[in-house]
C-alpha cells in the first residue's frame, strides 16, 4: 500500500491497514523514495522511480514468512492508485489491484490553462512545486477546498512527516497508467468519489470499464478526501475487504459488505467489451 502525491504511509492509510489486518489480510505500507520515512533525494518525485519502489515492495512482501507469494495485491490512493495499477500491470504475478480515488492520467487534475502553463515552466527549469495550494497558485492540488482537505488528513496522521514540496520535472513526460487498464491480467477494484474535485472521476471510470476484470464502486456525495474517515471510509474499507476476500482468500463474505454505518454506493462490474 502506498499514498499519492507527497503523501506518506502515516497520512490516512493506517486505518485501512488496520481494518485489513483485523480481517485476516496482511498489510504492508511503504513510502516512495524521497518522501516520509524512505531514503532518497528529499521531495524528488518521479513516477518511473516510484514504479521501482513498488517492485521492491512486492519482492519484500513475497519474501516474508507466512505470506503466500501467489496472493499479493497492490493498493494505492490518489496518484498512488495509478501507481498500483501500473505496478500490477508490470508484474504478472500480482493477484489483485485496488485503486481508491485514483489518478489514471494527469489530465484528471482540473488546472486552469494559466496555472498549468506556470507549472510546466517550473518543470522545464527543473524546479519544485507545492503539492497543495490555492486555486490561483501553481500546485498539483489547487481546487477549492483541496488544501484544507489534504491538511486535515495530514493532521489525522501518526507523527506525519509530510512536506508540501515536490519536484516538477516529471510533468514534462506525462502520467498515463490508465493505458494499461484494457490489458490488466488481474481483478481491479476502482473506488470513485462521485464529487471528486481533485481527481476528476470520468477517466478513472472509463479505465475501470475497459479492464477485463474491472470492478467499479461509486460513492455519491463524496469528495476526494472523504474516504479517509467517517461513513465513507467505513464503506470503502468494507468493499475493499470483501474484494480481497474473494480474490486472495477465495471466499465470499456472507451478506452485504460490513460497514458500521449505511453508505450508499453504486456497484458496477464489467467484463471486456461490456458496460453495465
Q: How far is the C-alpha of 180 from the C-alpha of 232, rounded, in Å?
A: 28
Domain layout of the chain by residue ranges:
14-107+166-269
Mean of the per-residue pLDDT values of the chain: 90
Q: How far is the C-alpha of 135 from the C-alpha of 114, rounded, in Å?
A: 11
Q: How far is the C-alpha of 15 from the C-alpha of 38, rounded, in Å?
A: 20
Q: How far is the C-alpha of 47 from the C-alpha of 5, rounded, in Å?
A: 10
Its pTM stands at 0.91
Give yes or no for residue 120 having a pLDDT over 70: yes
Decide the pairing of beta strands 166-167 and 214-219.
unpaired
Domain covering 14-107+166-269: architecture: 3-Layer(aba) Sandwich (3.40)
- How many residues are there in the chain? 276
Could you tell me if 189 and 84 are in contact, meaning their C-beta atoms sit under 8 angstroms apart? no
The tens digit of pLDDT for each residue in 146-185 reads 999 989 988 887 788 899 999 999 999 999 999 999 999 9
Per the model's pLDDT, the better-predicted residue between 263 and 213 turns out to be 213
Amino acid at each position: 500500500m502506498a499514498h499519492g502525491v507527497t503523501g506518506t504511509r502515516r497520512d490516512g492509510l493506517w486505518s485501512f491497514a488496520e481494518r485489513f489486518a483485523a480481517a485476516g489480510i496482511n498489510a504492508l505500507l511503504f513510502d516512495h523514495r524521497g518522501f516520509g520515512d524512505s531514503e532518497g533525494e528529499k521531495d524528488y518525485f518521479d513516477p518511473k522511480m516510484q514504479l521501482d519502489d513498488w517492485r521492491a515492495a512486492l519482492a519484500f512482501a513475497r519474501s516474508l514468512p507466512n505470506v503466500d507469494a501467489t496472493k499479493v495485491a497492490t493498493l494505492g490512493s490518489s496518484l498512488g492508485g495509478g501507481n498500483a495499477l501500473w505496478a500490477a500491470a508490470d508484474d504478472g504475478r500480482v493477484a489483485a489491484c485496488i485503486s481508491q480515488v485514483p489518478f489514471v492520467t494527469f489530465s484528471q487534475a482540473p488546472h486552469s490553462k494559466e496555472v498549468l502553463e506556470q507549472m510546466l515552466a517550473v518543470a522545464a527549469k527543473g524546479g519544485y512545486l507545492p503539492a497543495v495550494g490555492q486555486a490561483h497558485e501553481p500546485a498539483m492540488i489547487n481546487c477549492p477546498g483541496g488544501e484544507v482537505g489534504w491538511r486535515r488528513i495530514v493532521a489525522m496522521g501518526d507523527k506525519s512527516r509530510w512536506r508540501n514540496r515536490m519536484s516538477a520535472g516529471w510533468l514534462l513526460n506525462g502520467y498515463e497508467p490508465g493505458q494499461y487498464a484494457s490489458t490488466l491480467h488481474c481483478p481491479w477494484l476502482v473506488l470513485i468519489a462521485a464529487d471528486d474535485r481533485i481527481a476528476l472521476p470520468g477517466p478513472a471510470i472509463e479505465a475501470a470499464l475497459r479492464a477485463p476484470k474491472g470492478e467499479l464502486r461509486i460513492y455519491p456525495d463524496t469528495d476526494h478526501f472523504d474516504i479517509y474517515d467517517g461513513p465513507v471510509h467505513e464503506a470503502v474499507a468494507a468493499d475493499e475487504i470483501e474484494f480481497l476476500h474473494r480474490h486472495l482468500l477465495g471466499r465470499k463474505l456472507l451478506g452485504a459488505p460490513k460497514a458500521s454505518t449505511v453508505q450508499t454506493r453504486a456497484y458496477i462490474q464489467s467484463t471486456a467489451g461490456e458496460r453495465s
